[in-house]
A and B are shown apart, each in its own frame.
Chain A
């Protein structure tokens, strides 16, 4: 019935990597120095140096000309991407300070070799948006001696001293393809001399004359084209530096870098699992081997209770179990291990300790939201034979199959349903990139409760009480909250566009308790490969209603297809249980594809909350340990003028498993989305626990990524 799955194993990077580079053996002394734009470079100019794959760095540089805060990431070995928030005084005619977001990419065309060949990279700086730093370059870098690195290249735009004049009344945010590599071209060059292992001295020649910045009469123009600087590295993590632009303007910078592939405790600090208990010889336990025990009605309850208790010591819940003389299926909910494969490996070993010898087939089914998402089928003799060998051996013997939604003889563990859980914890929320203030925050106390009525039927809610913060209530545009409320409409009178996110700050700054969400969700699995979700209630801070979703995702498939439809109404700004007038039906068709090598994408096509129609494209780089950095963009039929600043919705998301940082096992993650200003075009409902990410953790691709921890 179930086809045994093999092909993916052969392409899974996690199981076939034959390299010891991650063991921290011998790394070059000269790392990449980040420039004032937070990209590989000297001071203002770039170098053709690619940071290690998985490197995420944050850089702040400050000079009289600007404060630049940059996050850069290396999703694949040759590509560097960056997202920047800059504050430039006196440039924006509408405000005192221009707050500018910019995006950079750099691609390594050639890698340096032992002989004459330098590394060569091509890059686009500030290629979207208002483009105040807009410039393109081709750069080559050569390590002349282990301590001396020289770079030279050709620059366009700012790098050639040609500022592409910004139109501040334009919405910006689009690709400025027509400008790329246009206008004058000028050379640039830089030298980095490593004075000691941690200190380097930098010199560069740059044509950037800071034309836009010196529009402000209080700013000095650089005295020359030579810039000098020093950079001091503290380990692989920190860099601090000081520099001068043209000899008369001074700046400082600092950066911190994390690498997805470097963890404080790679193998984790969790206690060792209970070892396999080999079965006694048949003549030592003839009843156990004969299977006669299975006729005893008290056998399964006793075994199920004991196994359930042992699993709960491992942070897992034995939801149900089907037991016969030679086969046992256990359905587990993993609450502890960030890698599902580790939870399965530990469950398999506990089963060898709890089950009579005649049980040869172990089926370990992963449960999410009361729904079975995948089954791993193992032979007990393989577990006994392969315990603590290379994890690829047991991977070859394990079958990963679609979990059967209706298994005969499944007995629920007593006391699992209904289940009530709650927690009380502090919360903090951050609002970034407000044009008037770079960040705002709010902190307070949050109580959450979940009542699982029966498998898949979950009532959950959250109440928040703000304690303090700078995140206050604000109307859209220049309106005060009272003025906006007095308008009595959710439609922007100028454009006729419904306000679905542009007034999101009307929901903040509430000093009385708020209810961010209160929902009843029903998850089900009608067939082996389809999953459904219906969520009703207060779905998110701004909308309430009903959301229904269906997902087709065979366990071994790279492709998944989904559909979602929502009927929602806008919530009141203050009162938790009342609504405003705006009501809409939105919905999407989605396709998800796992390209392999840790890259997966998603396309959603449909109708968004403001009634606009269009598509969202998202690409994620996900490392085997669960580190994920993604980017998305949404384009709808809403015109750039109606959308406003930024032209269309786009952003970056980061999600880091906490286990990676602290070593102790937990499924918790930290991260968030960095997006452009909240606008009304291309907005999706923020309903929680959509199906794809709920089921994929225990599907073949992710299981294999984490399979190295099967015996951990």
Chain B
């Protein structure tokens, strides 16, 4: 019996930890003004220069320094993520794994969904990639094989409807590279996936190891957010 109880309690504890990350539960009680102010805060801070003052004391860390700190603080698989459109660089920790799909989150609960190194979703960024169906191109990329394949990215439109953006992609190989990051050495080949669809052309690039791992990549999220760079800190 005690074993069963412990099980139930363990499930409970897992759910509880999640709750602790959520926002306060006062729904529809806060004023509209409060919500607007919260949203406007970053812009206001920029305009008044307060953001600079607040940020000034802490010198920006290099990627290696961020990786080293994260390795010491968090035992989970980690990635270093840079969103090019905002110029931000953040460490994300794996919070869940379902088969080969991993969910990485920032402390403020924005998430990237990655399947075997391929970006297949984002959450909490406002113009998220709902899902990328990449089985075709992923097979080529992870096998380091040139060829043609399709992918379909899906996005939620302003009306709340999920719509597909089908793309035709060409996978090409570049040169091999040896590099090290966050204490790991990698031997990888550059693979470039060029995709066209919806009147756009985008280019995802990956460094792929012989075993099909993707330690470093630059992948396109969508028309509004642009590209994200992903570096593996701890696989």
A residues contacting B by CB (< 8 A) are 13-14, 17-20, 22-26, 54, 259-278, 285, 287-288, 292-293, 295-296, 298-299, 302-303, 305-307, 309-315, 335-336, 339, 350, 353-356, 384, 387-392, 421, 423, 425-426, 623-627, 658, 660, 662-664, 666-668, 670, 705-709, 711-712
Contacts and interface: CB of A to CB of B under 8 A. Distances in A.
Contacts of B8: 293, 296, 298-299, 302-303, 356
A658 B32 contact: yes
A451 to B, nearest CB: 16
Contacts of A384: 98
A624 B160 contact: yes
A285 B200 CA distance: 49
**Residue of B109, B158, B164 with highest tally of chain A CB at under 10 A:** B158
A388 B101 contact: yes
16 contacts: A20-B165, A23-B165, A25-B198, A261-B159, A266-B157, A269-B125, A296-B8, A313-B21, A335-B27, A354-B14, A387-B98, A389-B131, A389-B133, A658-B32, A662-B36, A664-B35
A263 B164 CA distance: 18
Contact of A267 (B29, B95, B108, B130): B130
Classify chain B's interface size: 35 or more
Interface string B199-235: 1100000000000000000000011100000000000
A24 B223 contact: yes
Determine the main DSSP class of B at the interface with A: mixed
A18 B159 CA distance: 14
A630 B7 CA distance: 53
A225 B214 CA distance: 71
Given A312-B25, A391-B130, A711-B131, A354 B11 contact: yes
Contacts of A54: 159
Contacts of B159: 22, 54, 260-261, 263, 623-625, 627
Nearest to A312: B25
A24 B128 CA distance: 14
A268 B110 CA distance: 11
B1 interface: yes
B137 to A, nearest CB: 16
B4 A296 contact: yes
A20 B11 contact: no
A302 B165 contact: no
A443 to B, nearest CB: 13
A392 B30 CA distance: 34
A351 to B, nearest CB: 9
B123 A273 contact: yes
A189 to B, nearest CB: 35
Interface in B129-152: 130-131, 133
Nearest to A333: B27
A313 B158 contact: no
Contacts of A285: 7
A389 B101 CA distance: 11
Interface string B1-26: 10111011101111110111111010
A258 to B, nearest CB: 11
A271 B23 contact: yes
Nearest to A13: B161
A197 B121 CA distance: 35
Contacts of A627: 159
A663 B126 contact: yes
Contacts of A25: 198-200, 223
Contacts of B130: 267, 390-391, 708, 711-712
A712 B128 contact: yes
B120 interface: yes
The 6 A-B residue pairs with the shortest CB-CB distance in the complex, in nearest-first order:
A313-B22, A306-B12, A22-B157, A275-B96, A271-B109, A708-B162
A263 B128 CA distance: 13
Contacts of A336: 27
Contact of B96 (A265, A277, A292, A339): A277
Interface in B81-122: 95-99, 101, 103, 105, 108-111, 113, 120-121
A356 B23 CA distance: 26
Nearest to A658: B32
A266 B160 contact: yes
A354 B15 contact: yes
A13 B155 CA distance: 15
Contacts of A392: 162
Contact of A275 (B103, B162, B164): B103
A423 B121 CA distance: 38
Contacts of B31: 425-426
B124 interface: yes
Contacts of B101: 387-388
Contact of B35 (A293, A313, A624, A666): A666
A313 B127 CA distance: 23
Contacts of B165: 20, 23
Nearest to A14: B161
A261 B158 contact: yes
B195 to A, nearest CB: 13
A423 B7 contact: no
B58 interface: no
Given A271-B110, A296-B1, A299-B8, A423 B29 contact: yes
Contact of A313 (B14, B19, B200, B222): B19
Contact of B27 (A269, A350, A391, A666): A666
A674 to B, nearest CB: 21
B126 A266 contact: yes
Nearest to A267: B128
A356 B11 CA distance: 7
